[in-house]
Amino acid sequence: MSPRTPARRLAALLAPAFVLLLGALPAQADDNDYVAIERGRYLATVGDCSSCHLHRESPYAGGRGIEAPFGTINAPNITPDPETGLGRWTRDDFARALQQGVSRNGGHLYPALPYPWFTRISREDSDAIYAYLRTVPPVSNAVNRDTLPFPFSIRAVMRVWNGMFFEPGRFQPVIGRTDEWNRGAYLVEGLGHCGACHTPVNALGGSRRSQSFAGQALQGWYAPNIGGSSYQGIGEWGVDDVVQYLRTGANGWTRASGPMAEVVQRSTSRMTEADLRAIAVYLRDQPGRGPATAPPALAADSPRMRTGQAIYVDNCSACHRRDGQGVESMIPSLASNQIAVQAGPETLIRLVLSGSRPAATDAEPTAPAMPAFGWRLNDAQVADVVTYLRNSWGNAAPPVEASVVQTMRRQLAARGE
Amino acid sequence: MTRRLPSTDVVVVGLGWTGSIMSLELARAGLNVVAIERGPWRDTAADFPPATSADELRYAVRQDLFLRPAQETLTFRNNISQNALPIRRWGSFLPGNGVGGAGVHWNGHTWRWHPWDFTHRSSTIERYGADFLPPDNMMQDWGITYDELEPFYDRFEYLCGIAGKAGNLRGVIQEGGNPFEGPRQREYPTPPMRLTQAPTMFEKAARELGWHPFPNPSANMSQAYTNSYGCRLAPCTYCGFCERFGCGNYSKASPQTCVLPALVRQSNFEARTECQVTKVNLSADGKRATGVTYRDTSGREWEQPAEMVLLCAYQLFNVRLLLLSGIGTPYDPRTGEGTVGRNYAYQITGGATGFFPGERHFNPFVASGSEGIVVDDFNDDNFDHTQVGFVGGSSVACIPTNGRPILNRPVPEGTLRWGSAWKRATHENYNRTASVGIQGSVMPYRGAYLDLDPTYKDPLGLPLLRLTFDFQENERKLRRFGVDRCIEAVRAMGADRVIRNEITGPYDIVPYQSTHTTGGAIMGADPKTSVVNKYCQSWDVPNVFMAGASLFPMNAGFNPTGTVGALAYWAVDAIRERYLKAPGPLVPA
């Protein structure tokens, strides 16, 4: 994508006026505007719409349960089906949903639709996505949209929530920053909605902007710190490392697993190199969050470390090697992988218990899997081996207790993982 | 009722090495490809993760990855005067089952066959005269030369990341490699594997005997490797669970590690597993395949129409499918006429086991399927056969593939097979026993062939394949000669007790010997004596192409997979570059 030119900014400014005049008409002209539709398709990929709105018959027919802090919300059908999808929505309705979190009928949406980020999307981009969604085959799929418990089932509650946490407004380029940086900011803070997972939320589900990108436990994983910290974040990564990770799902530091594997497969691996680079430039410019330095590592000769090492040698070292270096671009290194030292050990624990299948992309089709060990290691053994790798080869992070593993095991069982 | 499906460009029968390679190459050329596989989908992560894959009872003893006789079996006899009977348990050879085929559970020995193999009849006559050929032989040249196949050997080796040492680079003999091999355009993709003690001793002994030892070319990785499809392999951990196992460490080249990750990303490719193709359908005049008929596990019958059919099943089942479909003329051993089923061949095996005195550290549990040392001095025509009185030869190798606890119990002859004496003997000998073995060529003979059994049928009511085979005097001499070399080697290594491993008597289909069955749908230059032309295209039905060891007019003293892979690339190259531009016979009949 090209950086936003002055002409485009002008177009974006004029768009609302244009819509005021024509907004009541259905958006028929767009159906034949190949350029806008293709742009919309690309933007829908950037926004990773299909990860949530996925359905077995269409990437956009909805029904998938999205875990939110107060319950599971089913993603709606956004195909142009008139009865069960967006068939009757105008481009204004669509823009209002993305930018203000308000549905066509005036009801409030929940931030499972990441409108606190999408509010920054330009009207031009919103219209392009709308134009694209008009072209996907309509699928009749009625989705139960009222699954939250009381009092969250009352959508008007969101008016209060919005008053407390929602800052509406289009993206404003920062003067003095490069076009590339601003493009990155637009993507990361807007359509890409990285912070929806990577920025911790408060008790009411509002993002703690002061802790942007510091990471948080989410959906049985720990969305890692992607701020500038050298300890837990991506402070040591170069721009190329970030681009490689997003494009291929793997780099010399780590590989994408879990929800991020989906993001890579459906979204970032299909983005342009220029957009990935812009994202990388912006992310690499973020301040460090979380603790700036590591705590002292546990002593290697402490009992738990020795037990953990014995378990590691027997179960892990064949692939990850005795020195924790793994195999480049294949078996992740544990020695230089920030996942090992995140504030929350959820990802590490679940990788040991249930294994995982990383992202497979055109550039990295192999996606070597981590096998499950939960069937043969008990909670104490998992806790010890995880503690060992959090405190070996230069890593340092608080030890993990068996009770945490036990909780995780229960959660995974409840999720059917 | 047969349900007819929408037509596709290519239907591939069997999704092993050749099926996956040809599917990917043709899908990348833009064709819609449907692969139909009798067995289940198999995947490293789901089916053999390293935490559970090293299960000797499940995979080696109970043969979890192999074809079940209930799915398909065959009838067997030693010669045409006998009545063939169905075998109730696969033994002498073990056909694979499922996606990846034998490429899942192989040991990974990846050879180029010698230039001599492809012209073995004419070259033998030229050197020794026509009288030197064994009686009743059906030896014939392949219709293709090593030089034509060389670029495709190279492609397969670089697909797999084969670990080895070149012995002949563009005609220049290389120190440390096989000096008898045909010229290769470049070095192996990765260096040889590391050696344990027994093959190290064999290498030294072989040199002392004046032989030319070199590292076994291995599809188990000596280091990480990425192939041109972007598929990655990790270094082998020498766990010793290769043969009969899927590799959980992504360390063994297989369709799973080398091809399928790229293939499944092709939106114009589709795999249908647990579906058994029963017939290639032909047009009314029998000159064109219109697709295939297959059954799913619920017994429903489907017709998949296609513009082209590739038969990529295991050697035996490719031949059976031709016979069931009426493609080509069945071979008749009485008249010597007909082509389908002729030139069935096997390999002949044997060797010597040595028990070594004193403190030894053979550590056989540190192993891979291909880690070891080979001598090629007594193979094919690498030595003067004038005095030995046989054609062909064998490789001689020390490749300790495993030290697994159930089946690897080396004890001296005469030891009780149970109880404390057996345990004590295992303890004493486990770490100081080593074997050297041969893998010998087998020539084709008039009475060794495949046809449809007149009596026995499979659960679908279709006749079983009948195998008629015995070893001939030429091969027995070859084996005796080879086993003698093994005994020399084991003694030179310092063994004080040696067991001669040589099965005598008629060929016995019960004990495991080798899964390298060959022939039955052979390639050649003459439609009267071959089933397919040099491009692996059916002489009779030109939109049917064949792959695999059924193409081989004879069997050599090396494992077949390298040649199977090279021929798959050779054939798919001919399809893509020549057939698709002008569909029809690539060689005038």
Mark residue B478 as left, alpha or beta (left: phi above 0; alpha: psi -120 to 50; beta: remaining). Answer: alpha
Which of A158-162, A268-272, B113-117 is predicted with the least confidence, judged by mean pLDDT?
A158-162
Rg (CA), chain A: 22
Kind and range of the H or E run holding B456: strand B449-457
Give the whole-angstrom CA distance, residue B20 versus residue B271: 10
- Pairing relationship of beta strands B463-468 and B74-77 according to DSSP bridges: parallel
For residue A398, give the nearest of A269, A231, A265, A268 by alpha carbon: A231
Tell me, what's the pLDDT at A148?
Answer: 83
Of A327, A329, A375, the CB nearest to B235: A327
pLDDT tens digits along A234-251: 999 999 999 999 999 999
Token pair 């690499």 is found at A284
Kind and range of the H or E run holding B380: none
**Contact indicator for A195, A111 with CB cutoff of 8 Å:** no
Give the whole-angstrom CA distance, residue B555 versus residue B558: 8
The arithmetic mean of pLDDT across residues A7-35, rounded, is 49
- Pairing relationship of beta strands B8-13 and B225-226 according to DSSP bridges: unpaired
Statement: A303-414 belongs to CATH 3.10.50.40: no
Provide the residue type at B71 as one letter: Q
3-state secondary structure at position B88: coil
Give the whole-angstrom CA distance, residue A4 versus residue A14: 15
**Contact indicator for B342, B522 with CB cutoff of 8 Å:** yes
pTM over 0.90: yes
Q: Which residue has the higher pLDDT, A148 or B203?
A: B203
How many angstroms away from the CA of B256 is the closest CA of chain A? Answer: 9
Kind and range of the H or E run holding B24: helix B17-28
Burial B498-511 (b: 16+ CB within 10 A, else e): bbebbeeeebebee
Best of B44, B232, B264, B267 to substitute, by most chain A Cβ atoms within 10 angstroms, is: B232
Q: Tell me whether residues A319 and B234 touch, CB distance under 8 A.
A: yes
Give the whole-angstrom CA distance, residue B266 versus residue B262: 7
- pLDDT of A17 > 60? The answer is no
pLDDT tens digits along A183-206: 999 999 999 999 999 999 998 888
Angle of the A273-283 helix axis to the A239-248 helix axis, nearest 10: 130
How distant, in Å, are the alpha carbons of A193, B30, B35 from that of B27?
36, 5, 11
Q: Tell me whether residues A365 and B265 touch, CB distance under 8 A.
A: yes
Provide the residue type at A106 as one letter: G
In tens digits, chain B (589 residues) has pLDDT values of 899 999 999 999 999 999 999 999 999 999 999 999 999 999 999 999 988 999 999 999 999 999 999 999 999 999 999 999 999 999 999 999 999 999 999 999 999 999 999 999 999 999 999 999 999 999 999 999 999 999 999 999 999 999 999 999 999 999 999 999 999 999 999 999 999 999 999 999 999 999 999 999 999 999 999 999 999 999 999 999 999 999 999 999 999 999 999 999 999 999 999 999 999 999 999 999 999 999 999 999 999 999 999 999 999 999 999 999 999 999 999 999 999 999 999 999 999 999 999 989 999 999 999 999 999 999 999 999 999 999 999 999 999 999 999 999 989 889 999 999 999 999 999 999 999 999 999 999 999 999 999 999 999 999 999 999 999 999 999 999 999 999 999 999 999 999 999 988 999 999 999 999 999 999 999 999 999 999 999 999 999 999 999 999 999 999 999 999 999 999 999 999 999 999 999 999 8
Active site (catalytic) residues of B: 516
Reading the block at residue B293, the tokens are 């008929």
Tell me, what's the pLDDT at A16?
Answer: 42
Tell me, what's the pLDDT at A150?
Answer: 82
**Chains A, B: CB contacts under 8 A, how many?**
63
The answer to whether residue B4 neighbours chain A at the CB level (below 8 Å) is: no
The answer to whether residue B265 neighbours chain A at the CB level (below 8 Å) is: yes
Reading the block at residue B579, the tokens are 């057939």
For residue B146, give the nearest of B572, B589, B567 by alpha carbon: B567
For residue B105, give the nearest of B367, B369, B311 by alpha carbon: B369
Q: Residues of A with CB below 8 A from B47's CB? A: none
How distant, in Å, are the alpha carbons of A109, A260, A360, B244, B265 from that of A55?
20, 19, 20, 40, 20
**What ipTM goes with this model?**
0.90
The answer to whether residue B229 neighbours chain A at the CB level (below 8 Å) is: yes
Minimum CA–CA partner of A331 in chain B: B234
Of B44, B224, B226, the CB nearest to A369: B44
The answer to whether residue B45 neighbours chain A at the CB level (below 8 Å) is: yes
The arithmetic mean of pLDDT across residues A240-269, rounded, is 95
The answer to whether residue B28 neighbours chain A at the CB level (below 8 Å) is: no
Chain mean position to CA B297 = 28
Minimum CA–CA partner of B251 in chain A: A319
Q: Any idea which architecture A179-283 has in CATH?
A: Orthogonal Bundle (1.10)
Q: Residues of B with CB below 8 A from A330's CB? A: 224, 232-234, 250
How many angstroms away from the CA of B432 is the closest CA of chain A? Answer: 26
- Counting beta carbons within 10 angstroms of the beta carbon of residue A21, is it exposed (0 to 12), middle (13 to 18) or buried (19 or more)? exposed
pLDDT tens digits along A45-84: 999 999 999 998 899 999 999 887 778 899 999 999 999 9
Tell me, what's the pLDDT at A1?
Answer: 37
How many angstroms away from the CA of B188 is the closest CA of chain A? Answer: 21
Give the whole-angstrom CA distance, residue B521 versus residue B315: 8
Q: Tell me whether residues B232 and A371 touch, CB distance under 8 A.
A: no
How many angstroms away from the CA of A122 is the closest CA of chain B? Answer: 33
Q: Tell me whether residues A366 and B257 touch, CB distance under 8 A.
A: yes
**Contact indicator for A53, A75 with CB cutoff of 8 Å:** yes
- Domain architecture of chain B: domains with CATH: 3-579 (3.50.50.60)
